[in-house]
Amino acid sequence: MSDRFAARLRGVERFVDRPTQRRASVLRRALRREVSRLRDPRRRAAVVILAVVFGLGVAGLVARGEAAGADARAYWAAVRIWLGGGNPYHPTGPFLPYVYPPWMLPFFAPWALLPWDVAWFVWRVGSFLLLFWTIDWAYRRRPLETAVVVALLAFPLAANLDTGNVNLHLALMLWAAQFSGPRLAGALWALATWMKWVPAPFIVLLAPRARAWGLLWLAIAASLSLLTLPLTIVQLQALFGFGPRPLRLDYLVLLWAAVPWLWRHPNPLWWIQGDGRRRLRAELAARLAAVLAAARRDDEPLGLRLGRAGRAILDRARAFLGLAGDPAD
């Protein structure tokens, strides 16, 4: 049967030009390669998990209908109220207040000038495309692990896609920072951190020199908030004027930003495994013993010991920020 089909196919190919035959050959090889990958049970499991998660997520988003987009509408309305001379932190109408630094309003302006239906379409579709790009990057490296992480973060991902909250975009900014140069990486981290302080611990995922640039950009962000001080005070009043808030599970979406760092390390969880735990305990015990031995030495003045400890801390801080080596590195 297959020989007969191949013979017929060769007969048809006589009527097709050579460039088209080459493109068809490339397509056949690509399809064979993808089918061969699906023979791996881990990839099949990953495909099933992702299909279920995406199916349930899309069904939930469609069911929400026009009720979705409350947070994105707040950003959209804040820019329009600000451009109209109003106070974006105390909006009139069915809008949530804007609670981010006033100097960030121009960042939303090009998008907010669109009509709301168009702006919401651009915001949501752009969020989907960027998220799918990161999922594709992670899936190509670790399919099953990526599917499991997406399943675990399904609720915060869907919640942010539903409300249009900027949390997902902050996670994507932290993701992009790990593939950028030091200046841009530091700027992305600083911008995300000054908008919401939750991304601050993710500085450890950046390259050492990018951490130094991040702190510099963070100081610039603080200066901009001081320059807009009257509105900054109003912003803080709006931020803390909501009263008691429920547990914000949507912030868990920021954990997605740790995937590039984890996926690029051959064994990122070594410290919770048996051998890794033993090595870590032994190293910590050795360092603690060295510190205690140095503290008990009576042949050195206390000031000298404190000075040496201070220099050691300073050296570690400089190494963390990439300032200990050659600036050309």
pLDDT, tens digit, 9 for 90 and up, residues 63-92: 776 667 888 999 999 999 999 888 888 877
pLDDT of 329 reads: 38
Torsion of CA 39, 142, 176, 52, to 10 degrees: 60
Lowest model confidence (mean pLDDT) among 3-7, 72-76, 99-103: 3-7
Question: Looking at the predicted structure, is the pLDDT value of residue 112 above 80?
Answer: yes
Return the structure tokens found at 102: 């006033």
Question: Looking at the predicted structure, is the pLDDT value of residue 8 above 50?
Answer: yes
pLDDT, tens digit, 9 for 90 and up, residues 19-41: 665 666 666 665 566 555 666 78
pLDDT, tens digit, 9 for 90 and up, residues 319-328: 778 776 544 4
pLDDT of 323 reads: 78
Q: How far apart are CA 123 and CA 121, in angstroms?
A: 6
pLDDT, tens digit, 9 for 90 and up, residues 156-209: 999 999 999 999 999 999 999 999 999 999 999 999 999 989 999 999 999 889
pTM: 0.78
First to last CA, the chain: 63
Q: How far apart are CA 217 and CA 220, in angstroms?
A: 5
**24 Cβ contact partners less than 8 Å away, ≥ 6 residues apart:** 16
Would you mind telling me the total number of residues written for the chain in this entry? 329
Return the structure tokens found at 164: 């249009």
Residue 314 pLDDT class (50, 70, 90 cuts): confident
Residue 2 pLDDT class (50, 70, 90 cuts): very low
pLDDT of 58 reads: 84
The domain ranges of the chain are 34-268, 274-320
pLDDT, tens digit, 9 for 90 and up, residues 221-237: 999 999 988 888 888 88
CA angle 150/151/155 to nearest 5° reads 95
Q: pLDDT > 90: what percent of the chain?
A: 41
* CA within 13 Å, CB half, 144: 8
